[in-house]
């Protein structure tokens, strides 16, 4: 069964602290995201001022459920999203066709 990816590119707010942002992401991952059904991994990518989250789940159904339920993490997600310029977010869902590792 192919894996599925939640991909979101975004920019941080101008006054955002990168170390604080990464700490909020790690806490969110460790305490909530990694416990979601089908979770495999979360990679955070950066190129200049553009960031991207690359979350891999076992199935597309798991990815869609993760996003639908993402508000359930309360203060953890509020802290994470407080660093992000939400109007810059571009979300995509991908089915993994092939992986070269």
CATH number of domain containing 73: 3.30.70.100
Number of domains in the chain: 1
- What is the domain extent for residue 63? 4-95
Q: Is 101 contained in some domain?
A: no
- Sequential DSSP letters for the chain: ---EEEEEEEEE-TT--HHHHHHHHHHHHHHTGGGSTTEEEEEEEEETTEEEEEEEESSHHHHHHHHHHGGGGTHHHHHHHTTEEEEEEEEEEEE------
30 part of a folded domain = yes
Read off the pLDDT of residues 50-63 as tens digits, 9 standing for 90 and up. Answer: 999 999 999 999 99
Segments of the chain scoring below 70 in pLDDT: 1
Alpha-carbon distance 18 to 6, whole Å?
22
Residue 1: per-residue pLDDT: 56
Task: Return the pLDDT at 72.
Answer: 83
How far is 70 from 19, CA to CA, in rounded Å? 23
**What pLDDT, on a 0 to 100 scale, did the predictor assign at position 101?**
81
Task: Please give the model's pTM, rounded to 2 decimal places.
Answer: 0.90
Cα dihedral across residues 80, 52, 26, 33: positive or negative: positive
Contact 77, 32 (CB under 8 A): yes
Residue 100 lies in a domain: no
Do the domain assignments include residue 83? yes
């Amino acid at each position: 069964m192919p894996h599925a990816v939640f991909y979101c590119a975004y920019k941080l707010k101008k006054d955002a602290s990168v170390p604080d942002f990464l700490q909020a992401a790690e806490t969110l991952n460790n305490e909530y995201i990694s416990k979601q059904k089908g979770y495999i991994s979360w990679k955070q990518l950066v190129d200049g001022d553009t960031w991207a989250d690359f979350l891999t789940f076992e199935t597309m159904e798991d990815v869609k459920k993760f996003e639908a339920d993402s508000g359930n993490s309360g203060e953890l997600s509020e802290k994470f999203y407080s660093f992000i310029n939400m109007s810059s977010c571009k979300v995509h869902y991908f089915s993994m066709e092939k992986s070269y590792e």
